[in-house]
A = this chain, B = another copy of it.
Amino acid sequence: MNDKLTVPASERMKLDNQICFAFYVCSKEIIKKYRPLLTPLGLTYTGYITMLALWEKDKIPVKALGEKLYLDSGTLTPLLKKLESQGFVKRSRSEIDERQVIVSLTEAGHELQQKAAAIPERLVHSFEMDEVQAKQMIESLHFMMKQAPC
């Protein structure tokens, strides 16, 4: 074992060398930037990504939605109830399998997509990052996401 020329523990334990901390901060700060754009639409950040998923494909069970969003029913159930009370989605038991609750978009839910269409562009611009850089970054992140559920 002569490959142990790694950095000392003191160095490895510095906050600025923690990849976890960098992700954690970036994630929080990006979400903060969304808030002022989403609040006028009546959405929280979690509500927004849920709507993004549903705009791609709705009429799906809570389970499938949770897999897309990396969220469980403990988070989704109250969130979906709120989106339902706002009139954006409808929740209904599947007739084929009554364990499943199918989430679908309402008319208002579909209409909201137009109002939200400008958001992604505005956000990318708020970081000084061109589309190529953004694309590379997303690729790296997806590589990590794929390893996540292990």
- Residues of A participating in the B interface, judged by any CB pair closer than 8 Å: 6, 9, 12-32, 34, 45, 49, 52-53, 55-56, 68-70, 113, 116-117, 120-121, 123-124, 127-129, 131, 134, 137-138, 140-142, 144-145, 147-149
Closest-by-CB residue of B relative to A9 is B117
Question: Which of B30, B68, B144 is close to A15, meaning CB atoms less than 8 Å apart?
Answer: B68
* 3 tightest A-B CB contacts, nearest first: A22-B141, A29-B148, A27-B27
A26 to B148 Cα, complex, angstroms: 8
Closest-by-CB residue of B relative to A57 is B15
- Within the complex, the shortest CB–CB distance from A53 to chain B, in Å, comes to 5
Closest-by-CB residue of B relative to A23 is B27
Question: Which of B25, B56, B144 is close to A145, meaning CB atoms less than 8 Å apart?
Answer: B25
Cβ of A56 and Cβ of B15 under 8 Å apart? yes
Cβ of A131 and Cβ of B6 under 8 Å apart? yes
